[in-house]
């Protein structure tokens, strides 16, 4: 049995801390580790995201934010994602659709599913996520979905199933590292009644503000992937 009462964790660049020592302390209070002071605050969604244990590459916040906006991810919506990976985007989506929405995740690999489920459980979001070991390029069980997000190598093979599963006006989003993947996907989208097809790349760079002046950070987060969005309609021009 592990003695959690006296269990300590080592945090790089900070020191050794027993997390149980923080239980019962008020949010906003200050505690010290070695000579460094920290504020105890309620975890934010970004904190939960950074705390994820990664097994597969994840969609990061700069791209996830665009997915939320373009796919209109709000409380009560039913969303499907394919390619659960480590559960990074799943965690963000589940936080957006609660308390009465649902995220349905497909993945082919049971090891990814098990790993993602642990991250989702740790974030206390398990009530809003259903994970299936299923190939989205073969079929989608659900219908009248508000949005579908595909983070798979061959999203064009799932476009037909996505069109059938989306509600009218629903959004299909694909995340692809290579522009050749984008080209194949858009070519397939145009074979179905998708409109407003657009592709974006987001770059991210922090500004370092000091008394001496302001400069861009040297650690710019450049290309991660291309986001393509399209909306389903059920007829051609009136």
Q: State the pLDDT at residue 132.
A: 96
Q: State the pLDDT at residue 48.
A: 64
CA 108 to mean position of chain CA atoms: 18
**pLDDT greater than 70 at residue 96:** yes
Q: State the pLDDT at residue 237.
A: 45
Higher pLDDT, 10 or 63: 63
Q: State the pLDDT at residue 56.
A: 58
Q: State the pLDDT at residue 54.
A: 62
Q: State the pLDDT at residue 2.
A: 41
> What domains, with CATH codes, occur in the chain?
4-42 (no CATH), 46-232 (3.40.50.150)
Q: State the pLDDT at residue 169.
A: 95
Bridge partners of residue 174, in order along the sequence: 150, 228
**pLDDT greater than 80 at residue 180:** yes
**pLDDT greater than 80 at residue 18:** no
**pLDDT greater than 90 at residue 181:** yes
**pLDDT greater than 70 at residue 55:** no
Over the stretch 146-158, which tens digit does the pLDDT of each residue have?
999 999 999 999 9
Q: State the pLDDT at residue 93.
A: 95
Q: State the pLDDT at residue 39.
A: 74
Over the stretch 196-228, which tens digit does the pLDDT of each residue have?
999 999 887 788 899 999 988 888 777 789 999
**What is the full DSSP assignment across 183-238?**
HHHHHHHTTTTEEEEEEE---B--EEEETTEEEE-S--B----EEEEEEE-SS---
Across the range 90-112, mean pLDDT stands at: 94
Q: State the pLDDT at residue 136.
A: 97
Q: State the pLDDT at residue 46.
A: 65
**pLDDT greater than 60 at residue 236:** no
* pTM, full prediction: 0.77
CA 187 vs CA 120, 133, 138, 227: distances in Å: 35, 28, 19, 15
DSSP 8-state class, residue 113: H
Cβ burial, residue 16 (10 Å; 0-12/13-18/19+): exposed
Q: State the pLDDT at residue 191.
A: 93
């Amino acid at each position: 049995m592990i003695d959690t009462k006296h269990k300590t964790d080592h945090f790089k660049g900070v020191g050794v801390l027993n997390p149980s020592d923080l239980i019962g302390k008020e949010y906003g209070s200050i505690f010290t580790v070695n000579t460094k002071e920290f504020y105890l605050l309620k975890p934010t969604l970004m904190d939960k995201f950074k705390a994820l244990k990664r097994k597969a590459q994840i969609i990061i916040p700069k791209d996830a934010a665009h997915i939320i906006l373009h796919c209109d991810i709000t409380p009560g919506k039913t969303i499907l994602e394919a390619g659960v990976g480590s559960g990074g985007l799943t965690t963000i989506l589940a936080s957006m659709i609660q308390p009465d929405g649902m995220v349905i995740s497909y993945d082919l690999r049971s090891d990814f599913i098990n790993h993602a489920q642990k991250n989702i459980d740790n974030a206390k979001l398990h009530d809003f996520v259903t994970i299936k070991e299923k190939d989205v390029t073969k079929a989608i069980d659900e219908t009248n979905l508000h949005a579908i997000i595909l983070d798979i190598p061959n999203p064009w093979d799932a476009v037909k199933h996505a069109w059938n599963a989306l509600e009218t006006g629903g959004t299909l989003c694909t995340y692809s590292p290579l522009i050749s993947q984008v080209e194949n996907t858009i070519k397939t989208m145009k074979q179905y009644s998708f409109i407003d097809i657009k592709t974006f790349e987001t770059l991210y760079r922090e500004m370092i503000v000091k008394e001496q002046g302001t400069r861009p950070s040297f650690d710019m987060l450049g290309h991660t992937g291309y986001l393509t969005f399209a909306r389903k309609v059920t007829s051609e021009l009136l």
